[in-house]
A and B are shown apart, each in its own frame.
Chain A
Amino acid sequence: MGNDKIGINKLYALSSEKRKFSFSLPLKHKIRIGKRNYEVKLKADEKYGTYILWKNRKYPVEIIRSRQNKYEILFNDISYSFTVETPFSLQRMKVLSSVKGKIEKELVTAPMPGKIIDVLVREGSSVLRGEPVVILEAMKMQNEIQSPVNGIVTKVPAKANNNVMKGDVLAEIKVE
């Protein structure tokens, strides 16, 4: 089968908060709100860069990241993450998530770039929600990075005196 191609008439954009937006194909440059259709225009010019024109207002847009079917979009200074799915891949996703079951892992990530001052947990430590896991220094402030959940620490990539980037995983916690 290899290069399987299937005709589709719809695409779904799923937000990171699991909201689903569906768009029929071919994609229209109009969005229906109530009884009216409003035109959406994607434009770019020297002064403003890329923007979307909607209801006579310009909104700045930028693509922060695009990998496979994942898109991170900055729209009017707020970032949104979507995965775009076809009806088929959406079905497959549901199946896959039920296969994976419900072993929930929570990642503690660096909210900002900085230097790790102290690591307060070890592999196997049990932590409570709100308990400090790592002390991260950024912009001369020491910040306690806390566990978002109750659980057992399964991995601690964070090491004292290391510099980390925003989003780097500091610890992995198995939710209990």
Chain B
Amino acid sequence: MKIKKILIANRGEIAVRIMKTARLMKVETVAIKTSFEPGAMYLSYADHIYDNTEEGTDIPVFLDIEKLILIAGRTGADAVHPGYGFLAENAYFAQKCIDNNIIFIGPSPDALYKMGNKTIARRIALRGCIPMALGSEGNISDEEEAIAVAEKIGYPVIIKAASGGGGRGMRIIRKAEEMERLFSIASKEAEKAFNDPSVFIEKYIENPKHIEFQILGDTHGNIIHLGERECSIQRKHQKLLEEAPSCALDDKLRHEMGRMAVKIAKAVNYYSAGTVEFLLDSDKKFYFMEMNTRIQVEHPVTELITGIDLIEQQIRIANGEKLKFRQEDIRLEGWAIECRINAEDVQSGFAPDPGKIESLSMPADPFVRIDTGIQPGSAIVASFDSMIAKLIVKGKDRKEAIKNCKKALDKVWIKGTKTTLPFFRMLVRNLKFQDGTFTTAFIEKDLEKYYYNSEYEEMLAAWLATKLFIEENLKEDSINVDFENGKEMSPWLLNKRMNQF
């Protein structure tokens, strides 16, 4: 093994995840301690810790290219794993690593750049005859041009950020009147999030399923796919639950979409792990959306049905090794589901709910895998994402996976912040989820209630409120109430009013 020591340019569960595999491969790791979370769990998985807590900056070190290169040099790391988010898809960072003789565990700067820019990616897909939604030729400069393009391809259309991803800078336009307002919102949002206000327009595919293919490529020109994941359970383009495989695909469609995914990856000489995202409409026609040039949050569902450790593959590929398997060696076995347990308040539109995790306990059933970077005492801080843990379950088929998921969800115990758990408890009981006919519009259109509670839970909560009231207000005999307690109006005034009626 050429790679001896990996600098983990990330935090949280993905840092833990990478270090677990590195340990199995007997590769040393370096984690960075930040002032945002100096007691974080991921630090305990590292062989070496670089203390960066003295740096009094507002920007996390995981976004500071110069500093990361410096840390790699100081700690003697010969490779960097960027995880996801932060600099994972930054071509400049990948190039900087290479220039400093540090192996970037990910694709080439060229592939990062081409797939990172959505207008360039569209052009490449077009050249490769990959099915795609109609759209603008390149970037759109103003509302007038946007309206002209939209008229040509027909409403509804979607505005997307050229340098975008993750739902930011995206807006759906259903009629020309909405364009002016939403165009400027999308462009401003894109500029803030990606330092690039450029946007482009695509025909908006109504009620599609989100299907993505996991790709693995080596530096010797071999590229294969590891089947699909379905990520249609999303809200405002943020994925909440993912599964593999998808019940919308048969072998023929899987083969065809997989072939296209490999084709587009080949067009940029892709190596490392990557994901090609497609939309699948109700006629089972599919459209290339974008390629994500990193390990993804939802990678565990693919690992569970293929038995392949994707982080190990990323490290081996970065090490220059050839893939040990061919396309025909890949078997998809069983069904896996991942729930993203986030510190969010489902009762207030999934608003982030930062706070300190007071207690945390996870199921230990054999069909459960937990990926987390949080332990009791950890804080969910506003500077980073709101993820607490990924609950990943397996079953022999989809039905069993859902059943196991339901069981596992009831055993998850988190205190300290509100979480997305009630949402998943509702979802696994929802008929449309169970029959698999849901689309990306499911959460916004098909759901009336975002959470599940059993019929007695509210009553038990009412009992507790009553008990508290008694303890705070009633005298020892527990039959007298002091009406003056905290009230603004005196009883005699009330009596007078009541007599008037």
Contacts and interface: CB of A to CB of B under 8 A. Distances in A.
B185 A142 contact: yes
A3 B475 CA distance: 13
A148 to B, nearest CB: 12
B430 interface: no
Interface string B413-432: 11100110110000000000
A131 to B, nearest CB: 11
A137 to B, nearest CB: 8
18 contacts: A4-B491, A5-B480, A6-B481, A6-B483, A8-B481, A11-B469, A13-B465, A23-B462, A26-B479, A31-B459, A31-B463, A58-B413, A68-B487, A73-B465, A88-B483, A117-B188, A140-B192, A166-B351
A157 interface: no
Contact of B414 (A9, A77, A86, A166): A77
B451 interface: yes
A142 B27 CA distance: 42
B486 to A, nearest CB: 4
Interface residues of B, number: 61
Interface in B309-356: 345, 347-349, 351-352
Nearest to B418: A77
A129 interface: no
A40 B463 contact: yes
A80 B498 contact: no
A13 B188 contact: no
A62 B356 CA distance: 14
Contacts of B419: 77
Contacts of A62: 415
Contact of B361 (A6, A48, A63, A75): A48
Interface in A109-159: 111-113, 117, 135, 137-142, 144
B480 A27 contact: no
A48 B497 CA distance: 49
B472 interface: yes
B489 to A, nearest CB: 9
Given A42-B467, A63-B468, A52 B451 contact: no
A27 B463 CA distance: 9
Contacts of A78: 347, 422, 451, 453, 457
B455 to A, nearest CB: 9
A32 to B, nearest CB: 11
B351 A80 contact: no
B490 interface: yes
A84 B236 CA distance: 38
Contacts of A79: 345, 347, 418
Contacts of B465: 13, 71, 73, 80, 82, 84
B481 A141 contact: no
Contact of B457 (A59, A63, A113): A59
Interface of B: 167-168, 185, 188-189, 192-193, 236, 345, 347-349, 351-352, 358-359, 361, 382, 413-415, 418-419, 421-422, 451, 453, 456-470, 472-473, 478-487, 490-492, 494, 497-498, 501
Interface in A2-35: 2-9, 11, 13, 15, 19, 21, 23, 25-27, 31, 33
- Minimum-distance CB pairs A-B, first 6: A112-B351, A21-B462, A13-B462, A84-B469, A71-B465, A75-B461
Given A75-B457, A166-B351, A52 B470 contact: no
A76 B422 contact: yes
A35 to B, nearest CB: 15
A80 B468 CA distance: 14
Interface residues of A, number: 68
Given A3-B482, A11-B470, A95 B462 contact: no
A38 B462 CA distance: 15
A75 B185 CA distance: 38
B497 A15 contact: no
Interface in A95-109: 95, 98-99
A47 interface: yes
A74 B498 contact: no
Nearest to B185: A142
Given A82-B461, A99-B497, A2 B484 contact: yes
Contacts of A82: 461-462, 465-466
Given A23-B463, A40-B460, A48-B359, 19 more contacts: A2-B484, A5-B482, A7-B480, A9-B479, A13-B465, A15-B462, A21-B463, A23-B466, A25-B478, A25-B479, A49-B415, A60-B414, A78-B347, A78-B422, A79-B347, A84-B465, A84-B466, A98-B501, A111-B349
Contacts of A54: 456, 460
A69 interface: yes
Given A47-B361, A77-B421, A11 B466 contact: yes
A65 to B, nearest CB: 11
Given A48-B413, A92-B498, A111-B348, A15 B468 contact: no
The interface centre, meaning the residue of B349, B459, B498 with most chain A CB atoms within 10 A of its CB, is: B459
Contacts of A47: 359, 361
Contacts of A7: 479-480
A162 interface: no
Nearest to A17: B458
A170 interface: no
A67 B465 CA distance: 11
Given A88-B483, A139-B352, A31 B460 contact: yes
A61 interface: yes
A23 B486 CA distance: 22
Given A27-B467, A84-B469, A140 B193 contact: yes
Contacts of B491: 1, 4
A139 B387 CA distance: 13
A75 B168 contact: no
